[in-house]
Chains A and B, each alone.
Chain A
Amino acid sequence: MERHSILERAIRTVLIVLVLVFFLFPIFWILLMSFQTNDQILRIPPSIVFAPTLDNYFTLITGKLQTTAGNLDVAFLKNLGNSLLLSTGSVILSLILGVPAAYAFARFKFRLGENIAFTLLSFRFAPPLLVLLPLSLYFKQLGLTDSYFGLIWIYQLICLPLILWIVRGYFEDVSPDIEHAYRVAGHSWWTTFRKIAIPLARPGIAAAGLLAFIFAWNNFVFALILASADKQPVTVGALAFVTASGIQYGQIAAAIVLSVMPTLLLALYAQRYLVEGLSLGAVKG
């Protein structure tokens, strides 16, 4: 019996290590590539022993790329800035729009509320191109193609359902009695909302906001279709960069690393919030 369980534990550990290798190796390998020169990358067989260089990152930061076709300006830092601006802006707008609505849906049972909540939820699952392609024509007419605002508005399609459904669950978990008591003590509705309801639902708001930020950052298709060249986030920028730089593999790797690091670090930092957020409250993490 004892030997059996030792063997079983050994097998389990080996399997877990294999799983981790499969899921972490690509990140590890691209990270290594980003510190290699092109010659080192092209070496056969590949080696994990090499003299690391920061040149790829310097090139991205200075924005001067040398290719076989001559010098090329890349605006990768601009893309990073765009991603930061678009994601942050979308989450803030989404919280302003979504938290009061989530509170209304949780505290007042009214049909319009359910309709809005379900409409937004069903948009979450509808093909994004169905909305994006007609919008690309509208955006041209409205002159929104070249604005951050247009993108932030349409990013609500990603952020708002998350905020609404997660935060709503948290408000529903908090007993309204505390708010009743505070109201009876003579405070206004607005003060009660600010001083009691929001602080009690803070973990939910944090989880939802964080997840919305990550999904907005990782989004590709919205900006691919709607953003003009100088408003593009990293996801679209990286693909354009691959096309433009051709064989500068080290720089491509460095660009990918810079693009994914913000969300990965954020995920590690706040992992305990993520599980429930990911399942939209379908499980208790």
Chain B
Amino acid sequence: MSLASVSESGALPVRKRPFARHALPYILSLPALLVCIGILIPFVTAVYYSLMRFRLNLPALKGFIWFDNYINFLSDAAFWNTVTISLVYAFVTVAVELVLGLGIALLLVKPTRLNNLASILLLLPLMTAPALAALMWKLMTNPNFGILSYLVSLLGFTDFRWASDPSTALLTVTLVDVWVYTPFIMILLLAGLRSLPKQPFEAAALDGVPRSFVFFRITLPMLMPYIITASLFRLLDSIQQFDIVYSMTQGGPGDTLMVFQVQSYLEFFQYTNVGRSAALLMVLWAITYFLSNIFIKHWLKLRERARGLS
């Protein structure tokens, strides 16, 4: 299809001025195109910076060094720490959220009044800014007066340090992430569950098929497209997590929570190493680009199906 060809289906009958007919969609989408170009410029700049020795505090050293920033990563323990912690963070949070979200969706699947009220109230954490959610949990885990610190002290953990202890920092930010984003998975899976056809379940009930069998052989396979879409979406966001980690610990204690974006933020503003920061983000971008292509494919398929059902 050439750029100028406008398909007949759905096109409006413009009787006069064929130029206007061809130009109309381009005119309408021009502003959005300009925004795209406006975003592409800094993106290309970032690619360029990632190939440079570029430190804001040492402008004299600025120069093109091809892939040295990337090659240096290979032998850089901090880089591998970032890769590991980002992947662990993403997979742990999404796994917990998926199990919890699916469980809650199954609990709420019947549209009773209590269930509908519950599913509306569960929107609230999701609508809380993640950066502010982290501050809320920071207040609740404060060693002096935090309610959660008090509660775990009743259980015998008198010196539980939450985010300020390297051994529990990941647990703490995971808790915040789970609190904010589980409702997202729940909402998607609930809508998915409610859209499943009724017949297989009625037939299984008539035949007295055990419920575990129904769940693993009917519900789960039919829900799989929703589960995959929701997990991929969350995985994409989670591997880039910045707000929660930065608000809670700024990547600390030490380098315990130095996920990609926090590390590159500090690299840029604290160590003013623009080249290294950009290269780090390019690595993250490669991962997300790969994931987002899979996600978009699944999402479009699901979207087609949902629109077909309506």
Using a CB–CB cutoff of 8 Å, the interface residues on chain A facing chain B are 12-13, 15-16, 19-20, 22-24, 26-27, 29-30, 33, 41-46, 96-98, 100-101, 103-113, 116, 118-123, 125-135, 137-138, 153, 156-157, 160, 164, 169, 172-173, 176, 179-180, 183-184, 189, 192, 214, 217-221, 224-225, 234-236, 238-239, 242, 249, 252-253, 256, 259-260, 263-264, 266-268, 271, 274-275, 278-285
Contact = CB atoms under 8 A, between A and B. Distances in A.
A16 B115 contact: yes
A264 B128 contact: yes
Given A41-B145, A108-B24, A189-B14, A16 B108 contact: yes
A111 to B, nearest CB: 6
Interface stretch (B76-84, B158-166, B185-193, B199-207): B185-193
Nearest to A22: B179
Given A129-B265, A235-B132, A284-B195, A30 B139 contact: yes
Interface in B124-162: 124-133, 135-140, 142, 144-145, 147, 150
B230 to A, nearest CB: 8
Interface in B251-310: 260-261, 264-265, 268, 274, 277-278, 281-282, 284-285, 288-289, 291-292, 295-296, 299, 302-303, 306-307, 309-310
Contacts, number: 307
B270 to A, nearest CB: 13
Given A112-B3, A122-B292, A263-B129, A127 B284 contact: yes
Nearest to A156: B35
A279 B195 CA distance: 14
Nearest to B44: A134
Interface of B: 1-7, 9-14, 24-26, 28-29, 31-33, 35-36, 38-43, 45-46, 49, 104, 107-108, 114-115, 118, 120-133, 135-140, 142, 144-145, 147, 150, 179, 182-184, 187-188, 191-192, 195, 226, 229, 236, 240, 242-243, 246-247, 260-261, 264-265, 268, 274, 277-278, 281-282, 284-285, 288-289, 291-292, 295-296, 299, 302-303, 306-307, 309-310
Contact of B121 (A13, A20, A235): A20
Top 7 nearest A-B pairs (CB, nearest first) are A218-B129, A104-B28, A283-B191, A220-B131, A108-B25, A125-B292, A134-B45
A279 B3 contact: no
